[in-house]
Amino acid sequence: MVSFISYTSLIVMLFLIGLQGLLFNRKNILLMLMSIELMLLATNFNWVFFAFYLDDLVGQIFAILVLTVAAAESAIGLALLVVYYRIRGTISVELLNLMQG
Amino acid sequence: MYLSIVVLPLLSSIICGFLGRFLGKEGTSVLAPLTIFICAILSWIIFFEVGLSGSYSYIKVCPWIYCEFLYISWGFLFDSVTCVMLIIITNVSFLVHLYTTSYMESDPHKPRFLAYLNLFTFFMLILVTADNFVQMFVGWEGVGLVSYLLISFWFTRLNANQSAIKALIVNRVGDLGLCVAMFLIYYTFKSLEYEVIFTLVPSKISEYFYFCGISVHSLTAIGVCIFIGATGKSAQLGLHTWLPDAMEGPTPVSALIHAATMVTAGVFLLVRCSPLIEYAPLVLTIIAIIGGSTAIFAASIGGFQYDLKKVIAFSTTSQLGYMVFACGLSKYNVSMFHLANHAFFKALLFLSAGSIIHSLADEQDMRRMGGLVQLLPFTYSAMLIGSLSLAGFPFLTGFYSKDFILELAAIIRYTVSNGVQANFVYWLGCLSVFFTAFYSFRLIFLTFINQSNLSRSIIYGVHEAPLKMLIPLVILVFGSIFLGYLGKDLFIGLGTDFWSNSLFIYPTRFFLIEPEELDLSSKFLPFFLSISGIFVALITNNLYPFSVTKLQLSKFGRIFTFFINKKWFWDKLNNDLIIYPLSRFGYYVSLISLDRGLIEFLGPYGISHLLSKWATNLTRLQTGQIVHYILFMVLGIFLLLNINILHDFYVQIFDPKLMSLFFCTYIFLAL
């Protein structure tokens, strides 16, 4: 039996790895999308774990919902990425600074 | 009758002022003198009833300010002091009005001028007839105001306006003293009515009040403040600078305001408050010393001036010094006597000067006159009589009052109670007698007797003044000759009960018989001094003028003459030590540093600057980099999630004192 704390810590670590990927990435929009996918995955994992842990079905239903939303989101994100690449010829995040305050 | 003497000039003034354009020059120059003439007759009747018959009159008209303990009413008090002042004011004013109608003949604003003169008479009458301090203050401020209006009568002249402002402001300094005196009187006596105050004075001898932790003797403080008021109005040393400059107004103004009436208000105040200041010996000492200093100071300057009117103006200041130190020696009746006499011969001198100036096409410099004795014999005789009277020539008016003041000072020297200041003022007074004779006769020699320095075109135009200007001179000449002799027994005679209760002299300072026992040399000293003054004037200005010129051109003589001609540099001292530093303070500290500086800095300007600075800093956070946005999002979520844990930390940060400190620091850093 794997303990509660190890599951949750794994989830949090996954989430934080996704966040760090988001924060410390300067090169690539693709990496950002992947990090967001990772964070969503971590959350999904969370739902599933708690559904199992609390013996409640709602969490699993929600996890499947999030899965579809994540798929749609990544589809739209990739579409935007493709449009962006077509215009700029690069996918660097650093050069994405036209909207300064 | 008692009220109409006060009200009539006001009505006449209103009519002349507001309806002047309908009445015209002729109408106003009939109405204004006529009103004052009626007032003059009424004042003689009042003098008979109140002064001679001894039936004092108290008239309460209506309450004015009525609140808890404070009861101030419009009330009128006619006693001996008042009726003497009434005689002086209305008669001199009538003569000046009469003189003005001719003197200002060609002035386009004559109705306005007559309205001002009437208004002045009204305020002066309010001043002397009031029965409480507040009503007296109405007149006191009113004469200051009208003095401003009259000095700047020719409002297109820069000098006239400057002098008028100076007169008003320097008077205000004294008025502040009088205000403080009134506050202190109300604090001490809980009333502002003369009768209440003067009755209560003996019970307050040992009363002290605390001011900034120092205990101050009430009566002394009140007396000093009253004297500050009198100093401003009566042009005593320190606040005297406005009087010579007030000569910028027309000559009748100088005669009425700055010789006969307004400047006597200060002396009148001291005489009126005699029951109060008699119980404060320190105040008497101060009054005597300042008065004596003023007498010698102004007299010495008068001898070195070249402006005809300024010589007479300084002579006025000097004579006011005499009156004030007579008050300081507790001789209020003698002071009033000198006041009455002085009003007549000083009005005579000024009106004669006006007559000279009138006939010389507005030439005022004595160096450009001379030889007028053949051309203006009448004015010459009037001026000579006035000057002799002023110099205290025996058996003229000035002799009876001025020499008596000096004799009193001479005899009071030997008493212990106020011997020191009497000694001081006696010698200064004697010196002033010398200077008085000197400048009076210097004026006579330079104007009338020396060879003429006039241009030929002016000499052709010289003529005696018209009849309306001569009649006042004639009347004043008679006044200057006989008034002293006629009034002597009434005012200062042995055991006269004329003053009865209207003024008070402390019994241990009451000397009237003693001067009669004075040794002959002391009695003759003022006379010899004035004769020698006349001789010195004769030698320096008529017989050997060039030797004096040579003396003046020597190194020491030049510095000395320059020093005194420039009024002992008192104006410059005033400017450099008080006025310029004050105006500099007003500009740099009040305006630049505070109003436009600190308050703007912490107020509108600083905050708007700060907000825009903060806004720029905030916008700079939005770099456009998505990564940064994400960081802030994460930080924001972190803060929101931990708001419970961080609560204590927030409380520390949002501590109001600390916040205001941060705020101020930030403003200073931001700017």
Tell me if chain A has a CB within 8 Å of the CB of B618: yes
Distance, CA of B190 to CA of B70 (rounded, Å): 7
Identify any residues that bridge with B74 across adjacent strands, giving them in sequence order. Answer: B62
Picking from B160, B159, B157, B140, the residue whose alpha carbon sits closest to that of residue B149 is B160
Residues B94 and B39 sit within 8 Å (Cβ to Cβ): yes
SS3 B217: strand
Nearest to B620 among A32, A99, A101 (CB): A101
Nearest to A23 among B623, B624, B631 (CB): B631
Tell me if chain A has a CB within 8 Å of the CB of B616: no
- Sign of the alpha-carbon dihedral angle for A54, A56, A61, A62: negative
The structure tokens 């930080």 sit at: B635
Chain B residues in contact with A21 (beta carbon < 8 A)? none
pLDDT in tens, B353-375: 999 998 888 888 888 888 888 88
Residues B90 and B32 sit within 8 Å (Cβ to Cβ): no
pLDDT in tens, A47-95: 999 998 898 899 999 999 999 999 999 999 999 989 988 988 888 877 7
Chain A interface residues (partner B, CB cutoff 8 A): 19, 22-26, 32, 93-94, 96-101
Distance, CA of B251 to CA of B547 (rounded, Å): 34
> What is the chain B residue with the closest CA to A97?
B624
Tell me if chain A has a CB within 8 Å of the CB of B630: yes
Chain B residues in contact with A97 (beta carbon < 8 A)? 623-625
The answer to whether the CB atoms of B626 and A100 lie below 8 A apart is no
What is the CA B194 to chain-centroid distance, rounded?
A: 22
- Total count of residues recorded for chain A: 101
pTM across the whole model: 0.83
Q: Which residue has the higher pLDDT, B657 or B433?
A: B433
- Predicted confidence (pLDDT) at residue B555 exceeds the cutoff of 80: yes
- Helix (H) / strand (E) containing A66: helix A58-88
- Sign of the alpha-carbon dihedral angle for B164, B167, B169, B172: negative
SS3 A17: helix
State mean pLDDT over B384-409. Answer: 90
Distance, CA of B503 to CA of B336 (rounded, Å): 10
Residues 6+ apart with CB under 8 A from B249: B150, B151, B152, B153, B154, B160, B163, B164, B257
Confidence of residue B225 (pLDDT cuts 50, 70, 90): very high
Q: Which residue has the higher pLDDT, B364 or B122?
A: B122
> What is the chain B residue with the closest CA to A94?
B625
- Predicted confidence (pLDDT) at residue A26 exceeds the cutoff of 90: no
SS3 B76: strand
What is the rounded radius of gyration, in angstroms, for the C-alpha atoms of chain A? 17
- pLDDT at position B472 is 93
> What is the chain B residue with the closest CA to A25?
B627
Assembly ipTM: 0.86
The answer to whether the CB atoms of A99 and B624 lie below 8 A apart is yes
Chain A residues in contact with B635 (beta carbon < 8 A)? none
